[in-house]
Structure 1
Amino acid sequence: MGVIGIQLVVTMVMASAMQKILPHYSLARWLLCNGSLRWYQHPTEEELRILAGKQQKGKSRKDRKYNGHIESKPLTIPKDIDLHLETKSVTEVDTLALHYFPEYQWLVDFTVAATVVYLVTEVYYSFVKPTQEMNISLVWCLLVLSFAIKVLFSLTTHYFKVEDGGERSVCVTFGFFFFVKAMAVLIVTENYLEFGLETGFTNFSDSAMQFLEKQGLESQGPVSKLTFKFFLAIFCSFIGAFLTFPGLRLAQMHLDALNLATEKITQTLLHINFLAPLFMVLLWVKPITKDYIMNPPLGKESVPLMTEATFDTLRLWLIIVLCALRLAMMRSHLQAYLNLAQKCVDQMKKEAGRISTVELQKMVITPGGFIQNLCLPCQWIIVYPPILFTLNYHLLMGR
């Protein structure tokens, strides 16, 4: 109570609640297992054999024999077979064997806990207004950011472990692309982009020089501005490489969700949700924010509508609303991914030739053919951590 006070108590209570409650009541588990999501079951080999009109296969002369073991040829069926996949609601038992489910569950539940701590801390600051206390909610937000980056890094490293994975080349290519793009953006002056890098770097350099002077050391600053921007561009290239497949998967999920949606309001929300990152970026373009939002031209004069402080608050709330919209559209995106199994089967029926039962079952289990299509939590991980990253970053900036 003497160092951080009430904030330390809130942190300890939340940590205890996470330890006691989350094993029994988990929001992450409920989001997947509340009965609203349905997945397609792959047909068994016996069911495919019956549909193809084939009897149980015994030993044949055509079977090859190696070292006393008989190697039979895989069963093949026509691609235009009359196959209808059965659906089943996602249950807690189904999640036990899913890849990345522990990472997904921890990230979601910890984000909820961090949000509660942030809200309680904001209420505490609004009433008490302490000046000598550290805002511990910032630590929780930083932890959410680190966990989100760590999960994306783990998923990206999985691409590099596969020898024949095309995702590895795509990640490397987009990493270099985002490095060049970041270098180009950092050249633009702050008269056009409201990044605050110049002010932030100056304050950091002054604070570092004052600290070194107190220690009896002489220095011109920690690093030069050019070196700082170079390392910042490298960091942006890594983040861009991590977000490459989340962006591609989100685009594909958006198209599939639009085909799945029947109501106009749902389609409109999906379009807004897809364009939300563009709206967020435009909020930091000064010619747009200063000339058309804060001071819109009315005739020959510009009428100020709001102050910069009001606009910063409005911008933060707009980002929170757009992030909430992304989370609200989660069910549509995940169900669109699960429907890829039936979509792949329908596409297969239009093709000629034959397919083995093993390949057909694999196509239903991992639709799309990418190694990123490992499971349902994997789809959540590659799409929604960027939103958690954005939300917690701007909560930090709001403080």
Structure 2
Amino acid sequence: MNISLVWCLLVLSFAIKVLFSLTTHYFKVEDGGERSVCVTFGFFFFVKAMAVLIVTENYLEFGLETGFTNFSDSAMQFLEKQGLESQGPVSKLTFKFFLAIFCSLIGAFLTFPGLRLAQMHLDALNLTTEKLTQTLLHINFLAPLFMVLLWVKPITRDYIMNPPLGKESVPLMTEATFDTLRLWLIILLCALRLAMMRSHLQAYLNLAQKCVDQMKKEAGRISTVELQKMVARVFYYLCVIALQYVAPLVMLLHTTLLLKTLGNHSWGIYPESSLPVDNSLHSSSVYSELPSTDGKMKVTVTQITVALSSLKNIFTPLLFRGLLSFLTWWIAACLFSTSLFGLFYHQYLTVA
């Protein structure tokens, strides 16, 4: 077993736990409307997930249908070998229903990080005067959209893998090469977002100066204690802002790493064809070196090996490739949807 899978799963679980804790904090607030916003976006993302899961593979090439079919067939064969009659572990409708519920929870967790990112993006653009930094900020904001478009089949097939040159389409790369390029592009966009973290956090800290300038325009006298509390409130909330900025990035990065490992992808653009390895000689030599008195141990090791190989036949790379591709796409889609709504809200619906 690859030990990196354990670390990726641990980091992913901690990131979800952090977002869950922040969301539960919003539910504890009685006066504000944060609870209603989370519930509304949760239902919105549930409907959106159900709609996306209905779309065929001709438009969104996750490989989810192929992976689930392979999983069902492998599970039925395994149960038949065990002498059990079954029509499959779970129906496709039930699988998609629970997957949509999980996606709605992820969307609810990413609601306020996306809204906050939109506000920091606008403030960072107003704060920055360099053209290069502004361009990087725009690319950083549109990065989830680029990730979403990487799984749109008409774009990837017709314009990237087989670009039209005149009247004919010339194959530019293979599917394996495009899968590798897609992984690298997601990692580069995640690195860009991490590099632009300082600009966004500095834009948030400038809210204290904006509040001070706004208070100076108001009538009446302001005590120094109230002014200090207001500035300290912005400073202490910086930890929450940093978590809301980093946690979705960590989720997206580690789902990509899991997709590479469990989906049997490669980091090389042109991977070499790996030759099959014959393990029969190695295994027989190992068993021959065992003493005859350890017959029970040999049988136990053989049973464990057979059980693990059976699980590998059920949970195939096709299943992980489809499921993790969908989850990676979904996280990027939720980030872009919430940040786009936040951009519209802070740009047109709030009073300066």
TM-score (norm 2): 0.71
Q: Which of the residues 224, 227, 231 maps onto 2:94?
A: 227
1:334 corresponding residue in structure 2: 201
2:187 corresponding residue in structure 1: 320
Q: Which of the residues 139, 161, 164 maps onto 2:6?
A: 139
Q: Distance in 2 between matches of 1:170 and 1:363?
A: 25
| Residue 311 (1) aligns with residue 178 (2) | yes
Q: Distance in 1 between matches of 2:205 and 2:241?
A: 10
In the TM superposition, what is the alpha-carbon distance from 1:365 to its structure 2 partner? 2.4
2:242 corresponding residue in structure 1: 380
Residues 301 and 140 of structure 1, relative CA distance in 2, 3 Å threshold: same
Instruction: Please give the residue correspondences for 1:56-95 in structure 2 after superposition, counting only pairs within 5 Å.
Output: none
TM-superposition CA deviations, 1:239-264 (whole Å, max 9, x none): 00000000000011111111221211
> What SS does structure 1 have at the residue aligned with 2:219?
coil
In the TM superposition, what is the alpha-carbon distance from 1:331 to its structure 2 partner? 0.7
Q: Distance in 1 between matches of 2:208 and 2:81?
A: 65
Larger radius of gyration: 1
1:398 corresponding residue in structure 2: 260
Q: Which amino acid aligns with 1:299?
A: G
Q: Distance in 1 between matches of 2:22 and 2:80?
A: 44
TM-score (norm 1): 0.63
After the TM superposition, which segments of 4 or more aligned residues of structure 1 sit over 3 Å from their partners? Answer: 353-362
Q: Which of the residues 255, 271, 285 maps onto 2:138?
A: 271
Q: Which amino acid aligns with 2:117?
A: L
1:171 corresponding residue in structure 2: 38
Q: Which amino acid aligns with 2:170?
A: V
Identity of aligned residues (%): 89
1:284 corresponding residue in structure 2: 151
Q: Which of the residues 217, 228, 236 maps onto 1:350?
A: 217
In the TM superposition, what is the alpha-carbon distance from 1:357 to its structure 2 partner? 5.3
| Residue 206 (1) aligns with residue 73 (2) | yes
Q: Which runs of 5+ in 1 are unaligned?
A: 1-133, 368-372
Larger fraction in helix: 2
Q: Distance in 2 between matches of 1:292 and 1:359?
A: 58
Q: Which moved more, 1:205-214 or 1:153-162?
A: 205-214
Q: Which amino acid aligns with 1:173?
A: T
> What SS does structure 2 have at the residue aligned with 1:221?
coil
In the TM superposition, what is the alpha-carbon distance from 1:351 to its structure 2 partner? 2.6
In the TM superposition, what is the alpha-carbon distance from 1:360 to its structure 2 partner? 3.5
2:26 corresponding residue in structure 1: 159
1:182 corresponding residue in structure 2: 49
Instruction: Please give the residue correspondences for 1:7-26 in structure 2 after superposition, counting only pairs within 5 Å.
Output: none
Larger fraction in strand: 1
Q: Distance in 1 between matches of 2:22 and 2:164?
A: 48
| Residue 150 (1) aligns with residue 17 (2) | yes
2:112 corresponding residue in structure 1: 245
Q: Which amino acid aligns with 1:395?
A: L
TM-superposition CA deviations, 1:289-320 (whole Å, max 9, x none): 00011111111111111111111111111111
Work out which structure has the larger RCO, using CA pairs closer than 8 Å and 6 or more positions apart in sequence.
Answer: 2
Residues 374 and 155 of structure 1, relative CA distance in 2, 3 Å threshold: farther
1:112 corresponding residue in structure 2: none
In the TM superposition, what is the alpha-carbon distance from 1:359 to its structure 2 partner? 4.5
In the TM superposition, what is the alpha-carbon distance from 1:168 to its structure 2 partner? 1.1
Q: Distance in 2 between matches of 1:191 and 1:266?
A: 38
Residues 346 and 204 of structure 1, relative CA distance in 2, 3 Å threshold: same
2:273 corresponding residue in structure 1: none
TM-superposition CA deviations, 1:370-394 (whole Å, max 9, x none): xxx8522211111221111111111
In the TM superposition, what is the alpha-carbon distance from 1:352 to its structure 2 partner? 2.8
1:301 corresponding residue in structure 2: 168
Q: Distance in 1 between matches of 2:54 and 2:255?
A: 23
TM-superposition CA deviations, 1:187-223 (whole Å, max 9, x none): 1101100111101111221232233233332111111
Q: Distance in 1 between matches of 2:226 and 2:214?
A: 14
Q: Distance in 1 between matches of 2:223 and 2:72?
A: 64
Q: Distance in 1 between matches of 2:78 and 2:223?
A: 69
Q: Distance in 2 between matches of 1:172 and 1:359?
A: 34
Q: Which amino acid aligns with 1:383?
A: Y
In the TM superposition, what is the alpha-carbon distance from 1:164 to its structure 2 partner? 1.5
> What SS does structure 1 have at the residue aligned with 2:57?
coil
